[in-house]
Chain A
Amino acid sequence: MRFSGDFEFPPDKAKANDRAIRLEWITVGYLVSAIFFIYITLGSSQAMKAAWIEDILSLVPSISFLIVARIRNRAPNEHFPFGYHRAINVGYLCASVALAVMGVYILYDSISKLAAFEHAPIGLVQPWGEPIWLGWFMLPALVYSAVPAVILGRIKIPLARELHDKVLYADAQMNKADWLTAVAAMVGVLGIGFGLWWLDSIAAILISLDITHDGIKNLRTATAGLMDARPTIVDGSAVDPLPERLRTELLAMDWVRDAVVRVREDGHVFFADIQVEPATNEGLTSKVERAARDLIHIDWRLLDVIIMPVAKIEDPRRADSDQPDVRRGSKT
């Protein structure tokens, strides 16, 4: 039997992971510069403030990815017998809570400013000795905050799929969607320029709705992950086929009469917990061991397979099933 924590990635995935780590460092460096440029051009535009906060928040997934990358491969110990893989779920939860809370805050702030008919003031600055309206600096700063982000996001999405990394995926999605924020903020700034003061708050409201939506969506996925929900593929759009595949493999073994499979997703990796109803008890221990060894090679993400032989399977999931006997009989 193998115990979890020997390694997390096979060699080819390790390479992809190194690449993801490099990309995340680039993302953090770039975001810090974008945050700085937006900060110095911030002025009093509500939309700029929303875009700025979104940029700051988009650091959270990148940074949690980098922190988690350092600790998730630590060997299991007395204190953490399952290893540190799940650190990634914790990081993911933090990132999504931050997103949701800030989204709601900006939404409230923008609506109250709109309701108070507050007109955003933007004045002159003198960076090169001659006075220039600050609004003109906001537009290039916003472009800078969007274009590289979109490119980075597009590069990271396939990596996230390859590594089955949900934090990386959420981060890539946020980067990719950043152009929307930038365009909304630019519309807000131009609105102020043309005397349409309300456009600024409207743009900020749209941005905050987007942030809140992202936050709630990710919060759900993160919570589901911590609740050991059925594994899904990285973008959450479909059920992961692995548990079903494990069951099919087991039922194909001649000593197995029936089996139920539960799979837990701990960050990148899966832990399978299986009950089998053996057809015969002869040489059971070695059969179970061999089955566990074989199954673990089905998928690189599978880190641990625990097989428990039982006289009769009791699975509450089957209680409301229409055809328990057909399932059971499928193996004869």
Chain B
Amino acid sequence: METLGSFALLTSGNHEPVKRLVILLAITLAACGVPRDPEGTLARVSGGVMRVGVTDAPPWVEVGDTAPDGIEVRLVEQFAEEIEAEIEWVEGSEQELFGALRFHELDLVLGGLTTETPWSAEASITHPYLTTATLVAVPADSEASEDISGLEVGVEANTEIAGLLRKTDARVVEVDDIEDHEGPVAIENYLTDDLDVVDTGVRLGESDHVFALPMGENDWMTTVEAFLLERPDEIKQLLDELGTP
């Protein structure tokens, strides 16, 4: 799936003949309903019940006491409305959810998954709908410099970001709650406005966010992907609204 990123390379130069050929192919064969689902998921879910597995991963999925919420949950609710499906939420660990997905007992799995997910051999992973970055930021009133060597940078203890930060020459200051920390911090890029800090330009990592679906249900998969790819602005808005510390 990481090969998809290389498509950016295709956009440079003249690819008019290829473009025409591909679009012609797409139009002719899309008329025959290609790609199709081997197990007919889209047809069953449309106007029926969509079984969605969720695992806690704020701000993407927050498993509440009654109903789940989060960026991905809201997107799926909107999608369900579009295809007139009723959602059946199923909560579980990733192990449980992907086990069920493998046997088509679930139609979709959400949980802040990225293209790095180790489950990619067990499930279809969608085209990334959003890319976020992990970065080092400094308070808005101080000077942002890319040189962070020796800088004391706050980071939430026992997290992936802490591990990434340790690989740089910054001095790691572990904190329990990043909101209480004054000074430079290592955080996800969507938290900068909440914490009133500015990007230094130092990137610790990038995440391409995806949903997971049953293997090879390509009509279902492309329908979900098309829904997500049409909404970059809405997704950013949801991130602004729900992406808080």
Contact = CB atoms under 8 A, between A and B. Distances in A.
Contacts of B32: 194
A125 B221 contact: no
Given A40-B7, A125-B4, A195-B37, A137 B22 contact: yes
A195 B4 contact: no
Interface in A122-178: 122-128, 131-137, 139-140
Interface string A86-122: 0000000000000000000000000000000011111
A197 interface: yes
A137 B7 CA distance: 11
B127 A122 contact: no
A116 B27 CA distance: 33
Contact of B36 (A41, A125, A194): A194
Contact of A136 (B8, B9, B22, B218): B22
Contacts of B10: 40, 127
A107 B131 CA distance: 37
A192 interface: yes
Nearest to B11: A127
Interface stretch (B44-52, B153-161, B189-197, B222-230): B222-230
Contact of A123 (B6, B11, B127): B127
B29 A123 contact: no
A319 B76 CA distance: 85
B215 A118 contact: yes
A196 B29 CA distance: 15
A193 B218 contact: yes
A125 B127 CA distance: 7
Nearest to B221: A123
B99 interface: no
Interface residues of A, number: 32
Contacts, number: 109
A76 interface: no
B38 A132 contact: no
Contacts of A123: 1, 4, 124, 126-127, 218, 221-222, 225
Nearest to A134: B4
Q: Is the interface of A mostly helix, strand, loop or mixed?
A: loop
Given A124-B229, A132-B22, A136-B29, A39 B215 contact: no
**Which of A120, A125, A195 has the most CB atoms of chain B within a 10 A radius of its CB?**
A195
A139 B6 contact: no
A304 B14 CA distance: 56
Interface string B8-27: 11110000001101110110
25 contacts: A41-B3, A119-B216, A120-B215, A120-B216, A121-B216, A121-B221, A122-B218, A123-B222, A123-B225, A124-B222, A125-B7, A127-B8, A128-B11, A128-B19, A133-B26, A133-B34, A135-B218, A136-B25, A136-B26, A137-B22, A140-B18, A192-B216, A193-B36, A195-B219, A197-B216
Interface of B: 1, 3-4, 6-11, 18-19, 21-23, 25-26, 29-30, 32, 34-39, 124-127, 213-219, 221-222, 225-226, 229-230
